[in-house]
Structure 1
Amino acid sequence: MSMSQKSFGIVLPIALLSYFLILMDNSIVFTSSREIGADLGLDAVGMAWISNAYTLTFGGFLLLSGRLSDLWGRKQIFQIGMAIFGIASLVVGVAADAPMMIIGRAVQGIGSSIVAPATLAMMMDAYEGEQRSKAISYYGATAGIGSIIGLLIGGALTSYISWRAGFLIKMPLIILIMWLAYRYIPKGKVEKATIDYVGSILSVIGLSSFIYGLTSKVYGVIFVIAGLILLVIFYFYEKRFSVPVMPLELYKNKVRFGAYLVRLLFMMALLPYWFLLPQQLGAQYGYSAFESGMAFIPLTVFQFGTALCIANWTKRFGSGRVLLVGEIVLLAGLVWAALADWTQGYWIAVAAPMCIIGIGSAMIVAPVTAAGIHKASNTIAGAASSLTNAMHQLGGPIGLSLIIMITTNFSISTYMMAGFTFVALLIVAVLIVPNESK
């Protein structure tokens, strides 16, 4: 069903708000980590699991969750995901000890893995043409801004109320979203097809093992290798299954294939920046959790302002060209940040390059999201959006692990982020721009 071209209706607000809530979760943990650790008596390993448990299940279950939205219907699977996410958020907010907190975060990740691809697939079902392009631009802006807003909210609530408030404050919004979805979103089509159980198990275990290996110092290499082996087995198994959990036709389109690689590299560059910068601000300027969150305001403002222009730019110049320029701008911002002299103070060393990074990020997220579902039929829309989100989740741990393994120097780390962006720039130029009109 297509919405009126005059109004987006209720689908877009539901999709953007729900996606925003799941994206800001890890950001809240970043700025509240010291307070959570002190309150629950967690050591460094325990604190790592607060973040890793969420990332592990979010990334591990994405392919299965996206395929279920194709088979069971968008509305049905979305409501299940929001219910899981909401209950888990409540558990995390009232957690009395570390095991309760970590289990709650893992279940949150499962709920998020269901909601993220379902929201994008719902938008594809609801909108067409220019309206779909605008909706995806807003969705892409949310993907970029949600994490940054999470840093601000997490820092403010932790400093003035409690780290628990960051999780509990979402409960009324989750209830509202579920009611709106139940009341206004039409029941989606349900395909009568056999679920690829073996492929689902291989994808969950393979992705989870790979992500765990990247984020673990204990037997990390073994888990990475095991994960890669399982994913290779998964790939060849999927070629034999009539209704696979990951339709291999997703990769036949060069634009989609390029988009998955670019989304991976984008998060390899950006998540380490979000993760390492607050620590650098604390070390160089003695910033608190709240001050570190506030330090991201220039990035947020420029990213949001640019995101509002993306729909018009893509209509005028083409999505691929906007994406290409975005990669160039992001590369320039990261190189500037790597060259910055921190003795010159926050505004020159941090805020100025951060503005450029914000502009580049906004020019990338929406076009690369659209490219990830380029010419994907409704029967594989959920799988296409889940793979886009899977690359988003995998990129961060891969980039952060590679950087931490090689250096602890912020400047060198930022050069590595710029290197990831340069590779993404080449992929856009070779795979996406020449093929988007074919």
Structure 2
Amino acid sequence: MAAQPRPWPALVALIVGSFMVVLDMTVIAVANPAIMASLHADVTSLVWATSSYLLTFAALLLPAGRLGDRFGPRRVYLAGLLVFGAASLGCGLAPTVGALIAARAVQGVGAALVAPQAMAVITRLFPPERRSAAMSAWGAVAGLANLVGPLLGGVLVDRAGWEWIFYLNLPVGLAGFLLALRYVPELPTRARGFDVPGMLLSSVGMLLLVVGLQEGGGRGWNGWTLGSLAAGLAVLALFAAHQARRDRPGSTADPLLPLGILRGRTFTAAAVAVALAAAAVTALLVPLYLQLEAVRGLSGAGAGLVLAPMALLAILFVPVVGLIGDRLHPRVVPLVGLVLFAGTLAGFSVFLTPDTPIGLLLAGAALAGIANACIWPSLAVAATLDLPPDRAGAGAGVYNALRQVGSVLGSAAIGTLLASRLTAHHLPAADAATSVPAAELPALSDALTESLHLPVGFLLLGAVAAALIVRPAPAPVPSPSPSSSPVVTR
């Protein structure tokens, strides 16, 4: 039986699961060479070990958010942790790359069940005046997991073997499960029907869209990938039409995605901004880690240490953001963070060379960390400002789905751009990161730094979206009727 609601311990339990599922999107990147050698996998199969996780994660986020509204976020969160933990064990024990791909897909199912519940519980459990601090902690941890993943993955692979990037999820998931049992309360649910056709349309549409984006970045924008994108957009259009019919005034149907939440300017602006920020982070990691490893000759763990100030400063500045977030207009903090992050990466694109002093890289990583502390929690707070509590699960699903699509978009776009820049510098795209002669390292460095213009563009577009965030108008106070007695106020 759940204990009486205690918001902050509940938040800790939710953060454990959120960090774990986001971390698993990037932690595998450093382990890829070891997995290839151990399972005798080719590059295409290895890409699918990452893609299968991203696909099921993104495709099921909307239904999972609605499941939290229907059956309670606590139950869905606990179920997601169980699925994720069992799949993590399957990943570590996988005897073949095919088994690893299948287990990663199941991991994505568990991740989709976990991810939307944290934002939904925070929205319903914390009053508005305390929500900024809560969202600061949750939003920063979820965003920073992308940055910490390669560093943690490098340490585990070097010291224990690639299997341990998955085995680590077992004690972490167990801790999150026990904490959730103890501290996350049962919240009221609505006993209305579940939109099965909407779930199928949204899942298929997201699946086709993400496959097109993911494969387009690797295989090129051919007929197959463009067809997948077109089919995904068409299915999502059908989904939107279906939701519009169910969300009409007077309808007793319960839509999977209440379109009314998208009419909220602040929610939509924050969701678009977080998608662009996620795209920027994913697009940043590829050229930056290649610069540090292929050009500078650092190990995976060494490259992670150079960028460690990004994670450290973000963690240190999260409490500051939480303290000042409620005192400023909701657009100020994310706008500052997005512009600062864009400026830092623009500086990298100008000053980053094979001979750039490590101290300058550390300083840039520290500035990027402060920027990230401003971006993730403040956008999560802004997204809840005009979100009705009974639509918290649906809103969290939309918010997280857009962030996930943004990550895939960033991955696909940087793959295409990087291949183009390598070709422009007369470098072989297939093996430029592993077999470039020393004389060609400056050309590789130039190609990588030019690719940083893409995440800069994503962040500036995100700043434009964040600038559209407005403070919701206070609820109107009913006027006393002429016949009523005067009301004495204090």
TM class by smaller structure:
over 0.9
Aligned residue for 2:40? 41
Q: Distance in 1 between matches of 2:286 and 2:164?
A: 21
CA contact (8 A) 2:74 2:180 kept: yes
CA contact (8 A) 2:116 2:397 kept: yes
Q: Distance in 2 between matches of 1:115 and 1:380?
A: 17
CA contact (8 A) 1:337 1:349 kept: no
Aligned residue for 1:298? 309
Q: Distance in 2 between matches of 1:31 and 1:349?
A: 24
1:307 aligns with 2:318: yes
Alpha carbons of 1:317 and 1:190: their partners in 2 closer, same or farther (altered >3 Å)?
A: closer
User: Could you report, residue by residue, the CA deviation over 1:183-217 in whole angstroms, capped at 9, with x for unpaired residues?
Assistant: 33332323211111111001001001110111112
Q: Could you tell me which amino acid in structure 2 is paired with residue 427 of structure 1?
A: A
Aligned residue for 1:286? 297
Q: Could you tell me which amino acid in structure 1 is paired with residue 340 of structure 2?
A: V
Q: What secondary structure, in the 3-state scheme, does the structure 1 residue paired with 2:189 have?
A: coil
Q: Distance in 1 between matches of 2:52 and 2:39?
A: 16
- Larger fraction in helix: 1
CA contact (8 A) 2:120 2:393 kept: yes
Q: Could you tell me which amino acid in structure 1 is paired with residue 271 of structure 2?
A: Y
| Structure 1 position 377, deviation (Å) | 1.8
Alpha carbons of 1:3 and 1:437: their partners in 2 closer, same or farther (altered >3 Å)?
A: farther
Aligned residue for 1:402? 413
Aligned residue for 1:227? 232
Aligned residue for 1:130? 129
Q: Which moved more, 1:215-224 or 1:344-353?
A: 344-353
Q: Could you tell me which amino acid in structure 1 is paired with residue 186 of structure 2?
A: K
Q: Could you tell me which amino acid in structure 2 is paired with residue 383 of structure 1?
A: A
Aligned residue for 1:175? 174
Q: Distance in 2 between matches of 1:251 and 1:18?
A: 27
1:321 aligns with 2:325: no
Q: Distance in 1 between matches of 2:411 and 2:448?
A: 12
RMSD: 1.9
Match of 1:236 among 221, 227, 241: 241
Q: Distance in 2 between matches of 1:397 and 1:172?
A: 28
User: Could you report, residue by residue, the CA deviation over 1:6-64 in whole angstroms, capped at 9, with x for unpaired residues?
Assistant: x7442011011111111111221011111111111111111111111111011110000
Aligned residue for 1:82? 81
1:21 aligns with 2:20: yes
CA contact (8 A) 1:155 1:292 kept: no
| Structure 1 position 435, deviation (Å) | 4.3
Q: Quote the sequence identity (%).
A: 26
1:415 aligns with 2:453: yes
Greater C-alpha Rg: 2
Aligned residue for 1:208? 207
Aligned residue for 2:341? 330
CA contact (8 A) 1:255 1:372 kept: yes
Aligned residue for 1:353? 364
Q: Distance in 1 between matches of 2:69 and 2:124?
A: 11
Q: Which moved more, 1:149-158 or 1:215-224?
A: 215-224
Q: Could you tell me which amino acid in structure 1 is paired with residue 260 of structure 2?
A: E
Aligned residue pairs: how many?
434
Aligned residue for 1:50? 49
CA contact (8 A) 1:15 1:123 kept: no
Aligned residue for 2:139? 140
Unaligned runs of 5+ in 1: none
CA contact (8 A) 2:266 2:386 kept: no
Q: What secondary structure, in the 3-state scheme, does the structure 1 residue paired with 2:389 have?
A: coil
CA contact (8 A) 1:120 1:385 kept: yes
| Structure 1 position 346, deviation (Å) | 4.9
